[in-house]
Structure 1
Amino acid sequence: MRYSEKNIDMLTGSLYRSILFFTIPIALSSMLQQLFNAADTAIVGLFDTSSSLAAVGTNGEIIALIVALSSGLSVGVNVLVAQQIGQHKEQNIIPIIRTAMSLAVMIGVAGLIIGQCISAPLLGLIKTPSDILASSVLYLRIYFVSYPFLLLYDFGSAILRACGNSRYPFLALTLSGIVNVFLNIIFVVFFKLGVSGVAAATVLSTMLSALLLICRLKKDTSSFPFALHKCDLYSGSVSAILKVGIPSAIQGAVFCFANIFVQASVNSFGSSAIAGSTIAMNFEYFTYYVITAFGQTATTFTSQNYSAGQLRRCRKILRICLVFSIVSSLILIEPLVIFRNFFAGFFSADQTVIQNACLRILCILFFEPLCNLYEIPAGVLRGTGHSLYPAVATIIGNCCFRIVWIYTVFRHYHQLNILYYAFPISWVLTIILITIGFIAKKAR
């Protein structure tokens, strides 16, 4: 594989500079994506009806589940490629690329077909209000068409980042995001397509991002004869990818599955609560992606250095990522909390909706910096090949706890703020579990 001089060297030199310059494009990619998603929400909220906004919003956690499965599986690709670089076995990368992209197509097509079948039952399961059920199902079914292309983008992005190139995935996502907003304006404002227009814009822009990543991989490799009609699967690569990717995907999936229970509980308060929660979630994802960007950086840097036997450098990676991530998240979150009414007003003029958004901001977003204390150590553990324990700890702390909370404390009080407090409490529990596991692994 041909490496650019612009690719970041993770094994030598200043970690401060390398980590910062590697993370910035990852964070900006996710933040820009969330800004584009927020633009989708704003456009449908301002130029269509509040019911359309709620229809898009009630799919939020389901779509987060879809994205989590894709990004979780891509962690396996990232770690495997980074290990080959750390062990100076670059000749193994081409078969891994072929396997990864073929795997993305196969899983993506299967997900598309399954998605068409389960959209209506799933939205019914989370108690979607009857007045928005039909439009919610339409949105989700159209969105599922993008799943194969989402996987192609995530897997291709994971490969490039493992090689030290986090810039190109950012540029590809930026371009596709701009196209997404442009198409939203055309479909929703001019053609009055509502939720179907928003979903169609997402599908087309995701196709573009996948195409850009595939073109880049073809350019960076002298022998990459990948074609959608021909799947090259190498059993060793498949098992290695899935060994790390499946626990990460399960972690993200169960995490989102628990949040679907939360969404079902929010749905019981009506369309205004759903719309307000949707607005607040845009801010939560926007800031949380900065934290996860440093977690991804910790995984990639640790994977290369751990494979190269540089354990002291791995410990330094943990410290630097923690400090950078905590400071960055505080800088972003505090203004959103302080000026919450102002920012929520960009998405809706309905004061009831704005009040519901502000309630969620105070109960959840305010405490989100706590997530740094488990995301970064978990990223380091994944980089060393220990992806199972972080998955189990997160499932117990973040997922199981929230479901138990909903069926006990929330059932008794049935207030939105009581529901939302499940988030910061679950984060504290997850921090404790991850810390215990990290210390145990370090002792070994």
Structure 2
Amino acid sequence: MSTSMVKGNPLKLMLHFALPLLIGNLLQQTYNIIDAAIVGQILGAKALASVGASSSVQFLVLGFCMGSCTGFGVPVAKYFGGNNLEKMRDYIFNGAVLVGIIAAVVTTICAVFCPQILHLLSVPEDIFDGAYAYLIIIFLGIPFTLMYNYLSGILRSVGDSRTPFMFLAFSACLNIFLDLFCIVVLKWGCAGAAIATILSQAISGSLCLVFIIRKMDLLWLKKSNRVVKGSAVKELLLMGIPTGLQFSITAIGSMVMQSANNGLGSVCVSGFTAGMRIKQFTMCPFDAFATAASVFCSQNLGAGKADRIKQGLRQGIAVAVGYGAFAGLILIFAGRTLSMIFVSKDSVEVLDASAKYLRCMGYFYWTLGILNVCRMVTQGLGYSGRAVFSGVMEMLARTIVSLGFVGMFGFTAICFADQTAWVAASLYIAPTCLYCIRKSTKKLEAEKAMQQG
């Protein structure tokens, strides 16, 4: 069911949109948590390190794919908000063509260079084979990841965040079964965890496609829509590629950080992996609030309602920062307990490392509320190029800390790399977002004056 956000209470609309998206994001992270928990508890700490040793490069590659899909959805939301449905359908088709090209190119490159990527990350020899088995399967499953993220992004662009959540919920439950079957019954090890994840995502994407074909008349493409149009491709690329690069640029800093951490030994790798899984899970609400604010602002930009854009930004930041403060307290006081999901209580050194990583992060967690909402709203208004630079700020900050301080302070420097990146990026993107809103407001006022004149 599509939902317009150009009328009604902004906070209520965004929270209503964000709730199923939030639960869906949590379920998507459940894929990774279940993988890590089963691998860590059944196969041991070294297998857990194998699964987590390439997480930063997964974020780089999959982040580019998912970010591109998010960017492709921005013009769809804008034209839906402006009730220009024919143009909206043109963009849906052209976006699908671009997604297919990205899937073919990225999958081929990543699969061919998988061993070199792991060597670049300084993955220890004792976990290299398991890390390769896991990563190569994740890379080969990129088309399924793209399919789900593009189709669910289109549904969200027209205000439907409930349907993607329902399909994701089903495949999350399926993933639990497949994990246990592939690892415990078939004894496929780290490769089994990757196979279970990819199959689950493939099913999610297939269900989204079937739903759109059978139920969403609004998204049905006529013959006139199924034509590659240069203007549509250009606008989609101008939105999608910078958004994808923003995720990837951020991940480059994470790769440098993970490479530095891998050099500290398997104990730090295991502790970092456990802490990172918890971090990714608790970051889901930020993504949900930010996506809701972005779709809200995109639709109201298309409808020419500047005041509602400002309301959406203010209320989105307030909710996200409030959540960040609450989640930070949980990480500070319960980080060690949560780490036991992945690591046996006998692995004292690994638990100490994970708890330290989470505790240090918790004090700055609220800054993610500002960073994510401002960045996504900036993208939603069509200024994806400006939003990319916030990713550059994150990359530079993580790289400086990783290369300049890990040698001196060891794992303690790793524990403060993320926070340094968040603060640096927030100092840039917050004023940039306000500038983009003012610029969009002036543009809308000029268009209204021309129409009245």
Residues 1:383 and 2:380 are matched in the alignment: yes
Which residue of structure 1 aligns with residue 397 of structure 2?
A: 401
Q: Note if contact 2:69-2:99 (Cα within 8 Å) is conserved in structure 1.
A: no
Which residue of structure 2 aligns with residue 168 of structure 1?
A: 163
Give aligned pairs, total. 433
Instruction: State which drifts further: 312-321 or 336-345.
Output: 336-345
How far apart in 1 are the matches of 2:218 and 2:388? 37
Residues 1:360 and 2:357 are matched in the alignment: yes
How far apart in 1 are the matches of 2:20 and 2:138? 26
Helix, strand or coil for the counterpart of 1:326? helix
The 1:47–1:357 alpha-carbon spacing in structure 2 relative to 1, beyond 3 Å, is: same
TM-score normalised over the length of structure 1: 0.93
Which residue of structure 1 aligns with residue 74 of structure 2?
A: 79
Equivalent in 177, 181, 194 of residue 182 of structure 1: 177
The one-character-per-residue Cα deviations of 1:198-238 (angstroms, maximum 9, x if unpaired) are 11111211110110111122121378479xxxx95333222
Alignment of 1:310-389 (within 5 A): 310-349=305-344, 350-389=347-386
How far apart in 2 are the matches of 1:222 and 1:10? 16
How far apart in 1 are the matches of 2:437 and 2:47? 50
Equivalent in 196, 209, 220 of residue 204 of structure 2: 209
Q: Note if contact 2:122-2:263 (Cα within 8 Å) is conserved in structure 1.
A: yes
Q: Note if contact 1:8-1:18 (Cα within 8 Å) is conserved in structure 2.
A: no
Alignment of 1:174-323 (within 5 A): 174-219=169-214, 220-221=216-217, 224=220, 233-323=228-318
Displacement of 1:267 after TM fit? 0.5
How far apart in 2 are the matches of 1:264 and 1:287? 24
Which residue of structure 1 aligns with residue 25 of structure 2?
A: 30
Displacement of 1:103 after TM fit? 2.2
How far apart in 2 are the matches of 1:79 and 1:312? 19
Displacement of 1:148 after TM fit? 0.7
Which residue of structure 2 aligns with residue 96 of structure 1?
A: 91
Displacement of 1:393 after TM fit? 2.7
Amino acid at match of 2:380: G
The one-character-per-residue Cα deviations of 1:124-178 (angstroms, maximum 9, x if unpaired) are 0110001111221121111112101111111111110011100011111111111
Which residue of structure 2 aligns with residue 429 of structure 1?
A: 424
Equivalent in 136, 140, 144 of residue 141 of structure 1: 136
Amino acid at match of 1:406: S
Residues 1:130 and 2:125 are matched in the alignment: yes
Identity of aligned residues (%): 25
The one-character-per-residue Cα deviations of 1:38-58 (angstroms, maximum 9, x if unpaired) are 111000111113221111010
Residues 1:45 and 2:47 are matched in the alignment: no
The one-character-per-residue Cα deviations of 1:49-91 (angstroms, maximum 9, x if unpaired) are 3221111010211111222112210122211111111221012
Helix, strand or coil for the counterpart of 1:421? helix
Q: Which runs of 5+ in 2 are unaligned?
A: 440-453
How far apart in 2 are the matches of 1:202 and 1:439? 39
How far apart in 1 are the matches of 2:219 and 2:13? 29
The one-character-per-residue Cα deviations of 1:254-279 (angstroms, maximum 9, x if unpaired) are 10111011111110111111111111
Amino acid at match of 2:111: Q
The 1:423–1:282 alpha-carbon spacing in structure 2 relative to 1, beyond 3 Å, is: same
Which residue of structure 1 aligns with residue 59 of structure 2?
A: 64
Q: Which runs of 5+ in 1 are unaligned?
A: none
The 1:225–1:12 alpha-carbon spacing in structure 2 relative to 1, beyond 3 Å, is: closer
Which residue of structure 2 aligns with residue 55 of structure 1?
A: 50
How far apart in 1 are the matches of 2:410 and 2:253? 18
Displacement of 1:310 after TM fit? 0.6
How far apart in 2 are the matches of 1:178 and 1:365? 30
Displacement of 1:406 after TM fit? 2.1
Q: Note if contact 1:103-1:233 (Cα within 8 Å) is conserved in structure 2.
A: no
Amino acid at match of 1:401: A
Q: Note if contact 2:293-2:316 (Cα within 8 Å) is conserved in structure 1.
A: yes
Amino acid at match of 2:400: V
Helix, strand or coil for the counterpart of 1:13? coil
Q: Note if contact 1:187-1:197 (Cα within 8 Å) is conserved in structure 2.
A: yes
How far apart in 2 are the matches of 1:329 and 1:172? 28
How far apart in 2 are the matches of 1:339 and 1:66? 31
Q: Note if contact 1:288-1:368 (Cα within 8 Å) is conserved in structure 2.
A: no
Q: Note if contact 2:406-2:412 (Cα within 8 Å) is conserved in structure 1.
A: no
How far apart in 1 are the matches of 2:290 and 2:46? 36
How far apart in 2 are the matches of 1:88 and 1:225? 16
Displacement of 1:283 after TM fit? 1.3
